[in-house]
Structure 1
Amino acid sequence: MSPSPVLLRTERLTLRRFTAADAESLVALHADPEVMHFLDTGRPADRETVLTRTLPEFLSWSGRPGEPAAALGVWAAEAAATSEFIGWFELRPTTPDRPGEAELGYRLSRAAWGRGYATEGARALVTHAFTGPDAPGVRRIMATTMTVNHRSRRVMEKAGLRYVRTFFEEWPDPIDGAEHGDVEYALSYDEWATAAGQEAGPARTVKS
């Protein structure tokens, strides 16, 4: 198990703060064309971009050394049984004009596909955001993906998010499937509480 501060553990996953030691694992993940197929430009990210832009951003969102893992942020995902890096999950505020809303995201290595890790991690983050001991005061969780990314859409649905809309954005270098647009899924705290059989409490303040 990594000594890096842990946000949460599930039956098969550990979500912990990113560290500089994750550099090569992150490079390999973002260099896989299958992993990146429906993301960003649809092409693998080069090593320099990951090391000079992506990793520093993830480190900044993971909290300061010596402190607990941040309640909102980006976390490295490890297989609990082996401590092997298998990808990452994120739950980050969307925009300042939408307080109480956070966006769910994830990216897993191909070796982890088809094993339920994405659903397990997403569900855990939803529960953490709404009820965890350091719950960040999220009132709505949303996620987006390409319309044609059916695998990711199934994960969102299994995590409790519901289809909201299909929307279209102009991309400078559109990838295959972009003509079908993107979809947004979302789940409010009240919807989650009702489904979980809990009483929906008063709104809380988001802590970043």
Structure 2
Amino acid sequence: MNDKLSKLFGSSARIKIIRLFMLNPETVYSLKEISQRAKVPAASARREISLLKSIGLVRPKTEKFLEELKLKDGKIKTKKVETSGFVLNQLFPFLFPLKNLVLNSAPLDKEKLIKNLGAAGKVKLMILSGIFTNNEGGSSVDLLLVGDAIKESKLDRALKNVEAELGKEIVYAVFSTKDFMYRYGMYDKFVREIMESPHEKVVNRLSI
């Protein structure tokens, strides 16, 4: 059994892929999706999945679903689609201790996060909640960003890099400084919920 655990670690690609499956236990991912979501080369994804499959952490799974196709005459045709990929094996004997180890062994580099997201514009307030505070069920968002001249393309690139490290999509909200301060002053329900949930202000130039 220890041989299995000894194979689990050894590369950053492996950690990213394990995190992806641990945080999305019901999702079936193709090799292409694994490569894209974890931001690792396709060859690395193929190699790591082969290893994880050999020790039983992930297993092959085929999903069937209906896809609607719009024909030239405007009619809708329903087609059965079958897709194959891999899913977390929830019967893996070391699943829970491994999950705790993986999710806590590589804490988020907050300085890097602030730098990357801060480059998207003039950030005045950055609040981490949800997945960042192990409180996914208690907050509607993982990240609240307040600022001006926020460039969506830069923000999107930065978030995708963070998501690759975390292994999960980030739910976020962005407000201009004026809009946020209005909502904050009016005790807006959405803003209040975030402020009352476990959170961390990693950037706070609004002194709130």
Which bin holds the TM-score, normalised by the shorter protein? under 0.3
User: If the length of structure 2 is used for normalisation, what is the TM-score?
Assistant: 0.24
User: If the length of structure 1 is used for normalisation, what is the TM-score?
Assistant: 0.24
Larger radius of gyration: 2
Greater per-residue helix proportion? 2
